[in-house]
A and B are shown apart, each in its own frame.
Chain A
Amino acid sequence: MSRINKNVILALLTLTSSAFLLFQLYYYKHYLSAKNGASLSKQRGSRVGFEGTQWRAVKKFIMLTSSQNVPVFLIDPLILELIDKNSGQVKNVSHGSTSECKFFCVPRDFTAFALQYHLWKNEEGWFRLAENMGFQCLKIESKDPRLDGIDSLSGTEIPLHYICKLASHAIHLVIFYERSGNYLWHGHLRLKGHIDKKFVPFRKLQFGRYPGAFDRPELQHITVDGLEVLIPKDPMHFLEEVPHSRFIECRYKEARAFFQQYLDDNTVEAMAFRKSAKELLQLAAKTLKKLGVRFWLSSGTCLGWYRQCNIISYSKDVDLGIFIKDYRSDIISAFQDAGLPLKHKFGKVEDSLELSFQGKDDVKLDIFFFYEETDHMWNGGTQAKTGKKFKYLFPKFTLCWTEFVDMKVHVPCETIEYIEANYGKTWKIPVKTWDWKRSPPNVQPNGVWPISEWDEVIQLY
């Protein structure tokens, strides 16, 4: 009977496939506990819940680091956010009950950790151990930016990123370096020629697209999903920093070339000015940070940073920019409390606001407030004698971190556009006589303040 035959065949096939299914289940278990984790197709890995690939990879990684006393801390934005949301529960979970894997089992390609490099005692040994445990690691190295500022030093390359893959999940270890200015820096994850571009989906990495700068976070131990990890004490603050962490290095090479052409001014007066300007900038940065107001280096100070990585010795003042949307009414009093009396105030919050404070040794601090339009930004200027208004136009820009005179400060990321708007294409040539009403190529007359408003918009002290 053909029908029975068919049934028999069907039954046989069912049996075989069941056998295979059983084998598959068995094998999967075997595979998970195997040391030499092999790469499986991704769909398989991510579908498994608790005890899944992610959790195992993270667990192994944490075991590895804690056995070697390497104080890595979790910086994965996705998980930190979850932890922050569930902060009440996490503490409750800390003792025992690991019934539910809520954080480390969320499907994702990477888990990001960070490490301060100077706390890493035995990097090479750690690396070997990781490979023995089944991790496939990729190390991204580059030259040390901390030596860039010093003429003619070349060190060995420093590790910037480690990507360690276990089965389908990868741990991204971002190496943080301490920089002058009390902040942590991580490097750009640049794939060099010989690196396997398909090692992991690099595009999905949360860190490394650009170099980044962060405040040094305080850390705390917590237990999540049965694993004890270090996380920033204030995860929210860290998470807020992540999208705005992009860092740009000063152009030390070009600065050296500049000084070869124009020679550095090392007179006593120049050194004294730089010293007071630096102190003023530090004081201003501290004051604004306390208020939580973002600022960036503007005008001459920005040019000094970009062109010569230093304060221009004949510039006479320190210039900062602040978005008008970040304006706070207590800025003036805060500066006064810091020992910087208001020198003049031009304009008003709605229009062309500009503050100027008197620092020590006749160094002035100018704060320009920037107004955002649909296709450009501008700040205003006022001539005290005539009440004339001026407008300085800038292409739109975003803010990046940089290091300047041992400080972490903001500058426009699109620096060259910003500087060329303000100083023209010839910004490379030092100019000592500068008329702020006429010299900038981006200045526009903007009418005159009505006399009735003068008392408000032109205040001189």
Chain B
Amino acid sequence: MDDWKPSPLVKPFGARKKRSWYLTWKYKLTNQRALRRFCQTGAVLFLLVTVIVNIKLILDTRRAINEANEDPEPEQDYDEALGRLEPPRRRGSGPQRVLDVEVYSSRSKVYVAVDGTTVLEDEAREQGRGIHVIVLNQATGHVMAKRVFDTYSPHEDEAMVLFLNMVAPGRVLICTIKDEGSFHLKDTAKALLRSLGSQAGPALGWRDTWAFVGRKGGPVLGEKHSKSPALSSWGDPVLLKTDVPLSSAEEAECHWADTELNRRRRRFCSKVEGYGSVCSCKDPTPIEFSPDPLPDNKVLNVPVAVIAGNRPNYLYRMLRSLLSAQGVSPQMITVFIDGYYEEPMDVVALFGLRGIQHTPISIKNARVSQHYKASLTATFNLFPEAKFAVVLEEDLDIAVDFFSFLSQSIHLLEEDDSLYCISAWNDQGYEHTAEDPALLYRVETMPGLGWVLRKSLYKEELEPKWPTPEKLWDWDMWMRMPEQRRGRECIIPDVSRSYHFGIVGLNMNGYFHEAYFKKHKFNTVPGVQLRNVDSLKKEAYEMEVHRLLSEAEVLDHSKNPCEDSFLPDTEGHTYVAFIRMEKDDDFTTWTQLAKCLHIWDLDVRGNHRGLWRLFRKKNHFLVVGVPASPYSMKKPPSVTPIFLEPPPKEEGAPGAAEQT
């Protein structure tokens, strides 16, 4: 009986076999009716069960396939999250999706409110003068960009034109003037305002107030203007209230191919504005760069820390150049953002990099310094295997051979204890004083601006005694102090591998940048083979310097070193000049010389034991400080060292001039 009981294992037997089984049994059991009936029922039941199980299986599979096809998009979640972050909410989701926008313009206060949420408010004194521009997403009403252009001052209108031209068509533009916005508003800018449909914009006059809401390339949605009655007074405050109809999300977005990269791009472009062609629908600029890999890359596994604040446009430019450099490995890059700023994070996400935000501690220079410390500690925590870290800042362009330069020189940091860092920046490497991209120097000053830090130096020496938040010190000045540097030197290239483009910054302004950074030489040649790297080691370098001094031609010391004719019009020669330098810290003459050579003169940079090396008119030009420098012995007895008198005190030296 039990034997007959069908077990699922017997299933695969074919029908015929089953039948013969049955027949055999049928003859044997022919007399036992009850038993046979029982067997029949059993068989029927079994068959029925099989049928049911099969049907269930089919149904199950069907359903599972359907589920798989539905494939829930993770992006949806993300978009929802975005929606929650931004305060302006659309009014209901019905057909009348309209934003109500309020714009106020007056002498001392401007504000913009979208659906009752204030997105701009500026009533600070002596600040925020000019035209405030806000860009809203036409589908969501999110603020995508907020700028102020001080068009009372020269050139700011050019920046405004540049910015407005970059804004994608269809976006909602809001403009409002605080105080004065017309003095340097030139015709190009006025023409642009006209093309936006503004009536009052092209006719803006001295101390007028003006509020404008319009769609880029579309209709004007509201405009108010009040003329100033007299030179000494301002136009009446204007308050513009207008409704902005929202368009559908599809209209607001470009139709890029659905790839990983474009997903990032779409996320970015639906949030922020003002990054030019990266969000262009037709021909977007790439956000992935595949620079050639570097053969035998020694810095492939060196982490790169990018120190950033809230200058997302700078960060964007910086990361583009960094990711285009040969031998870069994106997964080693971490961007440390000082503060909870969203836009820099968006830029980081656009490039698919890792971003870390830092709650600001302390103020001003100390804040920067604490940010540096946290970033460096985090870098070595994230990459515990790393022996070095590359430290970059958000306002640097990175040379195409930046990593190649480091790859060729990094072994020096391992082999030579007398080294403090390798830096990509030559403080004295200006267009007219730098020449040879294959040449390296040893200098006693730490230039920063793209440099390599040794982990042991950081962990054992710097981190434990890093200036605490209450000390308002510059981290770089602190690192340059003799207690920290302890006589060690940095390796720098003659032609810098980084370029400092930041004009706005803690210790920066336009004038300062123009004077000290703009004309800096920046290497653009890929794959430069550095010359004689091992000669940069401590002893070898001394020999090299002695060799150079021995073959150098002594310049005519009776001539004025500030005159162009001080150096002959030759090419490829090596010249030496001796200046007076009584003690190790006597830089009187050097500072004057630096001033007239139009190089860095705010403090002493680029010296090596009282020797400076630079290029003049394509000749290598050495300057030795006598008698403090040990190289003074190379001075022919007949030569009197040059002495330059510092000018009588007139104006205080620019105080906070520091290149952070």
Contact = CB atoms under 8 A, between A and B. Distances in A.
B15 A15 contact: yes
A23 B359 contact: no
B356 A147 contact: yes
Contacts of B380: 180
Interface string B311-349: 000000000000000000001000010000000000000
A11 B19 contact: yes
A128 B75 CA distance: 12
Interface residues of A, number: 51
Contacts of A39: 64
Interface string B44-76: 101110110010011011011101110100000
Contacts of B657: none
Interface stretch (B110-118, B381-389, B397-405): B381-389
A72 B89 CA distance: 45
Contacts of B65: 36, 38
Contacts of A38: 60-61, 63-65, 67-68
A383 interface: no
B40 A153 contact: no
B61 A124 contact: no
A439 interface: no
Contact of B54 (A24, A131, A178): A24
Interface in A1-49: 6, 9-11, 13-18, 20-21, 23-25, 27, 31, 36, 38-41
Given A11-B19, A20-B50, A149-B381, A271 B465 contact: yes
Interface string A388-412: 0000000000000000001000000
Contacts of A134: 68
Question: Interface residues of B: mostly helix, strand, loop or mixed?
Answer: helix
A153 B374 contact: yes
A181 B384 contact: yes
A118 interface: yes
Contacts of B354: 155-156
Contacts of A41: 60
Contacts of B68: 36, 38, 134, 136
B647 interface: no
A331 B378 CA distance: 37
A269 to B, nearest CB: 13
B359 to A, nearest CB: 4
Contacts of B58: 27
B468 A146 contact: no
Nearest to B71: A131
A229 B613 CA distance: 57
Contacts of A154: 356-359
A151 interface: yes
A152 interface: yes
A10 B18 contact: no
Nearest to B468: A266
B378 A14 contact: no
B43 interface: yes
B61 A10 contact: no
Contacts, number: 124
A156 B337 CA distance: 12
A182 B354 CA distance: 22
A182 B356 contact: no
B14 interface: yes
Interface string B365-387: 00000000010011011111100
Nearest to B381: A146
Nearest to B264: A124
Interface residues on B, range: 35 or more
A282 B73 CA distance: 49
B260 interface: yes
Contacts of A60: none
A300 B529 CA distance: 55
B278 interface: no
B567 interface: no
Nearest to A155: B356
A118 B374 contact: no
A179 interface: yes
B652 interface: no
Nearest to B77: A194
Contacts of B331: 118, 120-121
A150 interface: yes
Given A151-B361, A152-B359, A153-B357, A6 B50 contact: no
A13 B44 contact: yes
A125 interface: yes
Contacts of B377: 149-150
Interface string A122-165: 00110010010010100000001011011111111000000000
Contacts of A181: 384
A182 B384 contact: yes
Which one of A20, A21, A128 has the greatest number of beta carbons of chain B within 10 Å? Answer: A20
Nearest to A121: B331
A273 to B, nearest CB: 12
B637 interface: no
Interface in B442-481: 464-465, 468
B44 A178 contact: no
A134 B68 CA distance: 8
B141 interface: no
Contacts of A178: 383-385
B28 interface: no
A10 B64 CA distance: 34
A152 B361 contact: yes
Contacts of A136: 68
Contact of B464 (A125, A128, A155, A271): A271
Contacts of B12: 21, 25
Nearest to A31: B61
Interface string B254-281: 0000001000000000000000000000
A69 to B, nearest CB: 13
A23 B465 contact: no
A126 to B, nearest CB: 11
Contacts of B465: 266, 271
B358 A153 contact: yes
Nearest to A13: B47
B282 interface: no
B379 to A, nearest CB: 10
Given A10-B43, A182-B384, A147 B18 contact: no
Nearest to A145: B381
A38 B58 CA distance: 11
B267 to A, nearest CB: 12
Contacts of B464: 271, 275
Contacts of B357: 153-155
B355 interface: yes
A309 to B, nearest CB: 13
Contact of B14 (A18, A124, A150): A18
Contact of A156 (B67, B355, B358): B355
A18 B374 contact: no
Contacts of B381: 146-147, 149-150, 179-180
Contacts of B40: 6, 10
A293 B390 CA distance: 39
Interface of B: 11-12, 14-15, 18-19, 22, 40, 43-44, 46-48, 50-51, 54, 57-58, 60-61, 63-65, 67-69, 71, 260, 331, 336, 352, 354-359, 361, 374, 377-378, 380-385, 464-465, 468
The 7 closest A-B pairs by CB, nearest first: A38-B64, A152-B359, A18-B15, A155-B356, A180-B384, A17-B47, A13-B47
Given A146-B378, A156-B356, 19 more contacts: A10-B43, A15-B15, A36-B68, A36-B69, A39-B64, A41-B60, A121-B331, A124-B260, A125-B260, A147-B356, A150-B378, A151-B361, A153-B336, A155-B356, A156-B354, A266-B468, A271-B464, A271-B465, A406-B384
26 contacts: A10-B22, A13-B47, A14-B18, A16-B47, A17-B51, A21-B50, A23-B54, A24-B57, A36-B69, A38-B63, A38-B64, A40-B57, A40-B60, A147-B378, A149-B381, A150-B377, A151-B359, A153-B357, A153-B358, A153-B359, A154-B358, A154-B359, A155-B378, A181-B384, A182-B384, A271-B465
